[in-house]
Amino acid sequence: MSATTKSATSVPSEQLSTEHLLGIKDLTAGDIDLIFRTADGFKEVLNRPIKKVPSLRDITIANLFFESSTRTRVSFELAEKRLSADVVNFSSSGSSVSKGETLVDTVNNILAMKVDMVVMRHPDPGAAMFLSRHVDARIVNACDGTHEHPTQALLDAYSIREKLGKVKGVKVLIVGDILHSRVALSNIFCLQKLGAEVMLCGPTTLMPRYVASLGVKVEHDLDKALRWCDVANMLRIQLERQGGDGIANFPSLREYAMLYGLDLERYNRIGKNIVVMHPGPINRGVEVTSQVADHANSIILDQVENGVAIRMAVLYLLAARIPRTAV
Ligand code: CP
C-alpha cells in the first residue's frame, strides 16, 4: 500500500471486522449483512444509465490470476471500474512467474508501482492468507485452490436472499464434487452463519474425509435430497482436479450424470418449485441439462449479475479500512 494517507471520496458509516477477505470463515454474520446491504445500494447503481460512482477513484487494484477464470475475473474488473478504481490485470501465463519469480516477489514488484489492493486467484490453498502476511496491501481471495471462494459464496447467498426473501431457515442442497470445491466450503460457512440448513449430496468418492466435522446433513440419493431442499446448488465437476484421465473418482461422466445430474424429468418428479443454482462454468448435460440450466426457476445468470454488486460492496468496504482523508 502506498505509505501516504489517501483521499477518500466517500466512506461507509459501518466497517467490516476484517482488513482482508481471505475466506468466509473470518467473517461474522454482521459482516455478511453489511456486505449485502452495501450491495443493495450498488445494485441500484448498476441499474442506472450511468453505472458508475467515484467511491474508489483514489485506489489502485491489481487483479492477479494464477488460474483461469471467466466470471470472477470479469466481475471483479467491472466492479472495480464501476467504483472508478484504477485497475491493472496480471495473469501468470506470459509473466516472469515462468522464469521462477516467487509469489511474494511478484506481488511486491507490482505493489512497488503504488497498488493498494490485490485480488488474487491461485491454485494453492492458503495462498491469499500467505500473501496477506507478507505484503502491505488489502488482499481479496478470488479463490485459493480447493479451499475458499468467498465472493462466490456471498453472491450465492445474496441471490437466495433476493429470490426467496431470506436465507435463515432455507434448506440448501449442494450437489456434486464437494471434494475439490472451494465454492462448497465457502457456501457452507456462509449459509450456516446466516442460519440456513445445508445438505451435501454426491458420491462418497467426491466427499472430503472431514465432512462429518462440517455440521451439515449428507445424503447420497439425489432424489431424496431434492425432495428435502428449497434450493439446489449444482456444483461443477472439476475435471482438471480429478487426477488420472480426469474422472478418477467415478466411473464415467455418463454414470455421474445419471446418478447426480439434474435433468427436466428428475426436476419435474420433485413435485415442487425448487430454485436451481450453479456457480459456473457449467458442464451442460453433466451437472444440469440445458432445459434445467435455462429453466424459469434457475437463477444461474442472476448469480452472475449479483456478483458485480457483491464485489463492489466488498472492495468498497475493504478500501474504507485503508487510511484515507476526506476530500
Ligand atoms: N464461478 C467461478 O468462479 O467462475 P470462473 O472460474 O469462471 O471465475
CATH 1.10.10.10 is right for the domain spanning 150-304: no
CB of 54 shorter than 6 A to ligand 1:
no
pLDDT in tens, 113-130: 889 999 999 999 999 999
Question: What CATH code would you report for 24-149+305-326?
Answer: 3.40.50.1370
Three cell numbers, residue 65: 490470476
Query: What separation in Å is there between the alpha carbon of 181 and the centre of ligand 1?
Result: 12
Question: Which pLDDT does position 239 carry in this prediction?
Answer: 74
CB of 72 shorter than 6 A to ligand 1:
yes
Measured from the Cα of 143, ligand 1's closest atom is: 3
Query: What separation in Å is there between the alpha carbon of 107 and the centre of ligand 1?
Result: 22
Given a cut of 90, whether residue 240 has pLDDT beyond it is no
Three cell numbers, residue 183: 465454492
For residues 222 and 259, the answer to whether their CB atoms sit within 8 Å is yes
172 CB-near residues (< 8 Å, 6+ apart)? 160, 187, 191, 196, 197, 198, 199, 229, 230, 231, 233
Query: What separation in Å is there between the alpha carbon of 72 and the centre of ligand 1?
Result: 5
**Residue that wins the pLDDT comparison between 134 and 250:** 134
pLDDT in tens, 174-189: 999 999 999 999 999 9
Given a cut of 90, whether residue 1 has pLDDT beyond it is no
Three cell numbers, residue 252: 464415467
pLDDT in tens, 70-83: 999 999 999 999 99
Question: Which pLDDT does position 326 carry in this prediction?
Answer: 60
CATH 3.40.50.1370, the chain: domain bounds = 24-149+305-326, 150-304
Measured from the Cα of 236, ligand 1's closest atom is: 1
CB of 70 shorter than 6 A to ligand 1:
yes
CB of 186 shorter than 6 A to ligand 1:
no
Mean pLDDT of the chain: 92
Measured from the Cα of 70, ligand 1's closest atom is: 7
Rounded mean pLDDT, 252-262: 94
Ligand 1 mutation target, pool 63, 67, 68, 71, most atoms within 8 A of CB: 71
Dihedral, CA atoms, 301, 302, 305, 310, nearest 10 degrees?
Answer: -130
Q: pTM to 2 decimals?
A: 0.93
Query: What separation in Å is there between the alpha carbon of 280 and the centre of ligand 1?
Result: 6
For residues 186 and 152, the answer to whether their CB atoms sit within 8 Å is yes
Rounded mean pLDDT, 230-236: 97
Residue ranges with strand state E in the chain:
6-8, 60-65, 86-91, 117-122, 138-144, 171-175, 197-201, 217-219, 231-234, 275-277, 324-326
Output the residue whose Cα is nearest ligand 1's atom 3.
Answer: 72
pLDDT in tens, 54-69: 999 999 999 999 999 9
Query: What separation in Å is there between the alpha carbon of 8 and the centre of ligand 1?
Result: 31
Residue-wise over 5-24: b if at least 16 C-beta within 10 A, else e? ebebbeebeeebebebbbbb
28 CB-near residues (< 8 Å, 6+ apart)? 17, 193
CA 85 – CA 281 distance, rounded (Å):
27
pLDDT in tens, 2-11: 434 555 556 7
Question: Which pLDDT does position 248 carry in this prediction?
Answer: 74
Q: What is the β-pairing status of strands 275-277 and 231-234?
A: parallel
Q: Which H or E element spans position 105? A: helix 103-111
Output the residue whose Cα is nearest ligand 1's atom 6.
Answer: 69
Q: Which amino acid would we find at residue 156?
A: D
